């Protein structure tokens, strides 16, 4: 259904939901992609050394770094952790390290993982969780119809953004303050360009 | 803002650099002389006979850390290039802009105007501070030539005219360089820019600092994903880092020339710091190079408020910021490339 390069990365959905420009910077401009991998590496590293983070009940099997895909939706990616309940029901858990990102963006990414799992294993996935590394808290997420339709909508929007290959303008709000791509994005330089270019006019003799 | 990582300059001949876990170790004749966590380093510059272990080279390539080989006297020889990364769409936009005479001219105009603004401000400052009337007059004349040239850049109808304007101003600039020198003026007399090899101490100093800056501009292009050879102002020639040289134009005065002048005027660099080689080439002594590198590192940490980015930035990051601003322009985010102008 989808050509190989039309598949959307699961992580791109989260980036899109947080800020479309961030999504374009990472997935089109490939800005600082290496740093994101570095971060991911760090996260895995931390986990290995802190086994007490996860309280796992008897009979639950854990798969780490599971490759996920959905051919119907044109999605691919890797899940940090998928737990399998004793009856075999998959339960995706997305790990979040560092600063608080948008809750909704996290939920959308988790829901997309669930949609992949449903297709891959042919069974319903109705719940999942977000694990916040800093607070060591798990937040249960109900994968209801509202979240599902929002996720489907995000998948389509992300796919068209990536197909277009253009950068949307910066969002100009407080998201920028905790965005790790702020230097690459240069929201100030773009949003206030006319004003600052006027002051920086190199043809003007002062 | 991104912190500016140190560059390690290794000058001791016969040094061996190797990686021990995450730590870089520097040994001379099997004796440990220095060590530092590798992640504290943004780059390594090796002068002459300096050996590096393959694992250290691999790690630098993986992390995108700069690794540059120069001769013992600071001439560029080679740099490490890891696998090609970055944005192919950006590179395509860059190539398209180079192919378009209008885009090329527009970008080059801003670059030259930026360069002349910075050169003018250094000359005007020297004119203000000059005690001698003749010096003042010569410098004021040069500043005047720059003011006129700047106005001409805006209307230059093609690249050749633009380069002519720039060349004319540069001649005046270097022609009054001696007037900006206040210490040891006899030993540090400057007549014209000579390269390959430099024929007097000032040329030796300028060549050395320009080499450092060129490499930083190449790294800046590469880390942003721009092709350092695809320039706008500088003609395309095999092996020539034209874009890096373009970006460097506006940074020469504030980052390199000012440093050279300060070192001479404060007496930190003296006539004894140079040696003449057979054939008349003048080179800096190892101690002289050490002094410059230390001051250069210090200067890179100084913060200024960037007029376009709107926040405080260490001077050492300016090449990166400018490369990024150029990338933003090439990708259609902003309507023009804005050069870096250091006011005051
Ligand atoms: S800095 Fe702001 S506009 Fe730019 S990517 Fe981040 S959140 Fe989006």
- Distance between alpha carbon A85 and the CA centroid of its chain, in Å? 25
pLDDT digit string, tens, across residues B16-36: 999 998 899 999 999 999 999
pLDDT digit string, tens, across residues B234-255: 999 988 999 999 999 999 999 9
Q: Are B198 and B148 in contact (CB under 8 A)?
A: no
Tell me the pTM.
0.82
Q: A 117-176 residues with CB below 8 A of B?
A: 165-167, 169
Q: Average pLDDT of chain B?
A: 90
| Residue B5: band (very low, low, confident or very high) from pLDDT cuts 50, 70, 90 | low
Residues whose CB is less than 8 angstroms from the CB of residue B117 and which lie 6 or more positions away in sequence, other chains included = A202, B146, B150, B250, B339, B341
Q: Using a 6 Å cutoff on CB, does residue A43 contact ligand 1? A: no
Structure tokens at B202: 């000032």
d(CA B178, CA B128): 15
Q: How many CB atoms lie within 10 A of CB B75?
A: 13
Q: Are B218 and B210 in contact (CB under 8 A)?
A: no
What is the signed CA dihedral for A157, A160, A161, A162, rounded to 10 degrees? 120
d(CA B44, CA B114): 30
The mean pLDDT value for A23-37 works out to 69
d(CA B219, CA A145): 49
3-state secondary structure of A1: coil
Chain B residues inside the 8 Å CB shell of A193: 308, 334-335
The residue of chain B with its CA nearest to that of A182 is: B1
Q: Which comes out higher in pLDDT, residue B336 or A97?
A: B336
Residues whose CB is less than 8 angstroms from the CB of residue A39 and which lie 6 or more positions away in sequence, other chains included = A97, A98
* Interface mutation target, options B84, B327, B328, B332, chain A, most CBs of A under 10 Å: B328
Phi, psi at residue B244, to the nearest 5°?
-60, -40
Indicate whether A55 pLDDT > 60.
no
| Residue A86: band (very low, low, confident or very high) from pLDDT cuts 50, 70, 90 | confident
The alpha-carbon gap from B271 to the nearest alpha carbon of chain A, in Å, equals 37
Which residue owns the Cα nearest ligand 1 atom 4?
A185
* Interface mutation target, options B107, B115, B116, B333, chain A, most CBs of A under 10 Å: B333
Indicate whether B55 pLDDT > 50.
yes
d(CA A11, CA A26): 10
The mean pLDDT value for B55-84 works out to 81
Q: What is the predicted pLDDT for the residue at B275?
A: 86
d(CA A161, CA A155): 10
Q: Which of A18, A99, A181, A184, when mutated, tests ligand 1's pocket best, judged by the most ligand atoms within 8 Å of its CB?
A: A181
The residue of chain A with its CA nearest to that of B309 is: A189
ipTM: 0.80
Closest ligand 1 atom, residue A170 Cα: 3
Choose the most confident range, by mean pLDDT, from A172-176, B161-165, B203-207. B161-165
Q: What is the predicted pLDDT for the residue at A56?
A: 60
Peptide bond into A99 cis (omega under 30): no
pLDDT-above-90 percentage for chain B:
62
Indicate whether A53 pLDDT > 50.
no
The mean pLDDT value for B86-113 works out to 94
Q: How far is the CA of A177 from the centre of ligand 1 (A)?
A: 8
Q: What is the predicted pLDDT for the residue at B26?
A: 95
Q: What is the predicted pLDDT for the residue at A183?
A: 81
pLDDT digit string, tens, across residues B133-178: 999 999 999 999 999 999 999 999 999 999 999 999 999 999 999 9
| Residue B86: band (very low, low, confident or very high) from pLDDT cuts 50, 70, 90 | low
Structure tokens at A183: 């230097």
Q: Which of A96-110, A113-127, B116-130 has the lowest mean pLDDT?
A: A96-110
DSSP H/E element including A83 = strand A75-84
Q: Which of A29, A205, A206 sits opposite B151 (nearest CB)?
A: A205
Q: Which comes out higher in pLDDT, residue B243 or A2?
A: B243
Indicate whether A153 pLDDT > 70.
yes
3-state secondary structure of B91: helix
3-state secondary structure of A32: coil
Q: Which comes out higher in pLDDT, residue B135 or A34?
A: B135
Q: Which of A96-105, A180-189, A192-201, B263-272 has the lowest mean pLDDT?
A: A96-105
Q: How far is the CA of B206 from the centre of ligand 1 (A)?
A: 40
The mean pLDDT value for B202-231 works out to 91
Indicate whether B81 pLDDT > 80.
no
Q: What is the predicted pLDDT for the residue at A35?
A: 42
Q: What is the predicted pLDDT for the residue at B281?
A: 86
Q: Which comes out higher in pLDDT, residue B177 or A58?
A: B177
Structure tokens at A175: 């998201």
The mean pLDDT value for B109-133 works out to 95
Q: What is the predicted pLDDT for the residue at A2?
A: 87
β-pairing, A8-9 vs A75-84, is parallel
d(CA B95, CA B343): 32
DSSP state of B183: S
Q: Which comes out higher in pLDDT, residue A59 or B113?
A: B113
Q: What residue has token string 């902003």? A: B334
Q: Among A91, A86, A97, A111, which residue's Cα sits nearest to residue A14? A: A111
């Amino acid at each position: 259904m989808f050509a190989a390069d039309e598949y959307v990365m699961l992580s791109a959905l989260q980036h899109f939901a947080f800020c479309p420009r961030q999504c374009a910077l990472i997935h089109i401009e490939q800005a600082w992609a290496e740093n994101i991998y570095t971060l991911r590496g760090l996260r895995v590293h931390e986990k290995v050394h802190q086994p007490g983070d996860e309280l796992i009940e008897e009979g639950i099997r854990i798969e780490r770094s599971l490759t996920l895909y959905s051919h119907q939706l044109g999605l691919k990616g890797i899940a940090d952790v998928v737990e399998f309940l004793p009856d075999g029901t998959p339960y995706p858990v997305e790990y979040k390290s560092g600063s608080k990102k948008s809750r909704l963006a996290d939920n959308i990414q988790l829901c997309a993982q669930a949609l992949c799992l449903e297709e891959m294993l042919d069974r319903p996935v109705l719940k999942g969780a977000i694990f916040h590394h800093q607070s060591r808290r798990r937040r249960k997420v109900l994968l209801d119809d509202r979240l599902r339709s929002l996720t489907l909508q995000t998948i389509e929007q992300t796919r068209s953004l990536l197909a277009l290959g253009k950068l949307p303008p910066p969002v100009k709000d407080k998201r920028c303050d905790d965005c790790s791509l702020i230097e690459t994005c240069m929201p100030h330089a773009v949003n206030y360009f006319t004003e600052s270019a006027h002051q920086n006019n190199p043809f003007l003799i002062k | 803002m991104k912190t500016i990582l140190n560059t390690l300059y290794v000058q001791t001949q016969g040094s061996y650099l190797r990686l021990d876990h995450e730590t870089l170790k520097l040994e001379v004749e099997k004796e440990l002389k220095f060590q530092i966590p590798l992640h504290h380093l943004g780059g390594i510059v090796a002068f002459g006979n300096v050996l590096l272990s393959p694992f250290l080279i691999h790690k630098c390539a993986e992390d995108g850390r700069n690794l540059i080989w120069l001769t013992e006297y600071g001439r560029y020889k080679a740099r490490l290039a890891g696998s090609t990364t970055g944005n192919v769409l950006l590179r395509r936009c860059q190539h398209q802009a180079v192919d378009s005479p209008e885009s090329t001219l527009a970008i080059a105009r801003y670059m030259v105007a930026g360069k002349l603004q910075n050169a003018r401000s250094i000359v005007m400052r020297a004119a203000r501070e000059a005690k001698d009337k003749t010096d003042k007059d010569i410098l004021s004349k040069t500043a005047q030539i720059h003011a006129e040239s700047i106005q001409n850049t805006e209307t230059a109808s093609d690249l050749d005219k633009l380069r002519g304007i720039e060349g004319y101003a540069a001649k005046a600039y270097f022609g009054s360089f001696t007037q900006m020198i206040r210490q040891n003026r006899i030993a540090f007399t400057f007549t014209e820019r000579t390269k390959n090899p430099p024929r007097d101490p000032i040329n030796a100093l300028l060549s050395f600092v320009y080499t450092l800056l060129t490499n930083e501009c190449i790294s800046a292009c590469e880390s942003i994903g721009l092709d350092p050879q695809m320039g706008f102002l500088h003609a395309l020639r095999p092996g020539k880092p034209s874009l890096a040289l373009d970006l460097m134009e506006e940074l020469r005065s504030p980052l390199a020339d000012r440093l050279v002048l300060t070192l001479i005027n404060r007496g930190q660099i003296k006539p004894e710091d140079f040696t003449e080689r057979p054939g008349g080439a003048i080179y800096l002594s190892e101690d002289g190079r050490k002094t410059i590198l230390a001051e250069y590192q210090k200067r890179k940490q100084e913060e200024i408020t960037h007029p376009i980015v709107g926040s405080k930035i260490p001077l050492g990051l300016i090449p990166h910021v400018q490369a990024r601003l150029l990338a933003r322009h090439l990708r259609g985010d902003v309507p023009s490339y804005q050069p870096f102008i250091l006011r005051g």
